[in-house]
Amino acid sequence: MSKSNVQHDKDTLRPLESQINMLTSLIDRGKTHHRFPKALESEYRNFVLGQFVAVDLKIISVGLLIFVIFGWADFSFGGDNAVILFTVRCALAATLFACVITIPRTPFLPYSIHALVLGIYICFLCLIWNITMVEGPESYFYHISMVPMQVFALLGLRSSYRAMIVCSLSMLLSYTAFVVWYPMPEVMSSFDELALATAPFYILFWSILIVMASYLSFIIESSTRTDYIKNRLLALEAERLQYLGRRLQQLSTTDSLTGIANRRYVEDQLGDEWLRCTRSGTPLAAVMLDVDYFKKYNDHYGHQQGDVCLKAIAEKMAEYCRRPGDVCARYGGEEFLMLLPETSAKQANDIATGVCTAIAAMKLEHTKSPLGIATVSIGVAAMVPKSGKNYEQLIRQADIALYEAKANGRNQVCLASSSEAP
């Protein structure tokens, strides 16, 4: 394998391995329910936002609809202020619903959770305001409505227990302050006395509800974070396996020295192209190339320099395989093969002549050659495949033409006499 391929593998696999090791470490140490490292936390937040847009906005919309439906209480208990209470309720719901629709399409999407906390708190303040606008025992109905507000806070903020705690405590503390400082009637009815006596228990009940909701929200967020880590780990493992699978396939069909196709691959392609050209009635050409006096080159310059020479020739030859179906392969030792589908004998001969000339023009020093430079001999064969024949006949003709080129003095191209035009 070439150094560039090794480096490419390292550059590709190292980040994957690093992420896999980090995620595995988080799972092993049971840290998936905590905040992740900065980059991973940012990606998780983007994932949560995606879930928020896909699912939570629907829950919020339903919650706002229920908030409006409960407006019947304004007409039942609001008395003279019923229309005002219901109008404010609808205006607030419409405004928040407009935010639900528009925020996902604005740069404020990352702040959706903050906006939801604010929206829930504003709805809570609306209920507090309703209490001040309703006289008599009917106002205590709005005290009871704090429980549905808390339930909605849990549903809307279930995947962020910190936001849920902040929202819930803000409502509880504000409500407690309101109950303490809001003046009671000068003349208290038995209903007012009962409400005042049960207020501490109501606040205690609400506090217990917040504790339970916080624990449930923490479990939900921890589960979401854990599932995210596990799914991401599975995705990275799959990506690594896919890459290794592709590299294994590439290595099994690529010559490790020159980087072009190997004999196994070109023979597979020969079989496929032979069948395809048989069906289409188009010619298939094979160009067999051999480096002249290469044994002497190796003996004189050494095998390492011989490898450099082969790589340079392979790169130059590959430049002439321009079409998707063309294949340039190392066939064995210093022998190469070009497979050219839908190419006539004349076209293949012209390509081979270009390759021969281009390699000689590289002027690779070869003092043991009569020409003083590295050259190649090339045999060309082409035929229109027919049923009952196989590609071995094509390769045999190209090989015979190659030996003719060598016998005629090397550094030249010889076209097989039996090659067929299209």
Region 299-310: mean pLDDT is 94
Mean pLDDT, rounded, for 284-306? 94
Which range among 190-194, 252-256, 300-304 shows the weakest confidence by mean pLDDT? 190-194
Beta strands in 274-334 (DSSP E): 284-291, 327-332
Q: Which of 7-21, 48-62, 168-182, 183-197 has the highest mean predicted lDDT (pLDDT)?
A: 168-182
Contact present, 338 and 323 (Cβ < 8 Å): no
- For 67-102, b/e burial (b = at least 16 CB within 10 A) is bbeebebbeebbeebbeebbebbeebbeebbebbee
Is 334 annotated in the active site? yes
The pLDDT of residue 205 is 94
Top-level CATH class of 263-415? alpha beta
Residue 193 has pLDDT above 60, yes or no: yes
Residue 11 has pLDDT above 70, yes or no: no
pLDDT given at position 7? 47
pLDDT of residue 31: 67
Picking from 313, 328, 319, the residue whose alpha carbon sits closest to that of residue 262 is 328
Confidence of residue 2 (pLDDT cuts 50, 70, 90): very low
Q: 104 falls in which pLDDT band (50, 70, 90)?
A: confident
Query: pLDDT category, 417, cuts 50, 70, 90?
Result: confident
Residue 309 has pLDDT above 50, yes or no: yes
pLDDT at 243: 85
What are 259-271's pLDDT values in tens digits?
A: 899 998 899 999 9
Amino acid at 350: D
Whole-angstrom Cα distance, residue 82 to residue 90?
A: 12
Q: What are the boundaries of each domain within the chain?
A: 3-237, 263-415
Name which residue leads in pLDDT, 51 or 122: 122
Residue 291 DSSP class = E
pTM for the model stands at 0.61
Confidence at 10, pLDDT banded by 50, 70, 90: low
More confident residue, 159 or 366: 366
Give the integer Cα–Cα distance in Å for 133 and 130. Answer: 5
Helix (H, G, I), strand (E, B) or coil at 337: strand
Q: pLDDT tens digits, residue range 133-173?
A: 988 788 888 888 899 899 999 988 888 889 999 999 999 99
Instruction: Please tell me which residue, 183 or 328, carries the higher pLDDT value.
Output: 328
Q: How many helices (H) and strands (E) does the chain have?
A: 15, 5
What's the average model confidence in pLDDT over 58-63?
88
Q: What is the reported pLDDT for 165?
A: 94
Q: Is the distance from CB of 44 to CB of 36 less than 8 angstroms? A: yes
Give SS3 for 249: helix
Q: Check: CB of residue 41 under 8 Å from CB of residue 31.
A: no
pLDDT at 168: 94
Report the distance separating Cα 409 and Cα 55, nearest Å: 78
DSSP 140-180: HHHHHTHHHHHHHHHHHTTT-HHHHHHHHHHHHHHHHHHHH
Average pLDDT, the chain: 88
- 3-state DSSP assignment of residue 375: coil
Of 17, 334, 342, 365, the catalytic one is: 334
Q: Is the pLDDT of residue 283 over 90?
A: yes
- Residue 1 has a pLDDT of 42
* pLDDT at 105 exceeding the cut of 80: yes
Please give the Cα distance from 23 to 37 (Å, whole number): 10
Structure tokens at 30: 């049971």
Torsion of CA 166, 167, 168, 171, to 10 degrees: 120
Asked whether residue 3 carries a pLDDT value surpassing 50, the answer given is no
Give the number of other Cβ atoms within 10 Å of residue 267's Cβ.
Answer: 18
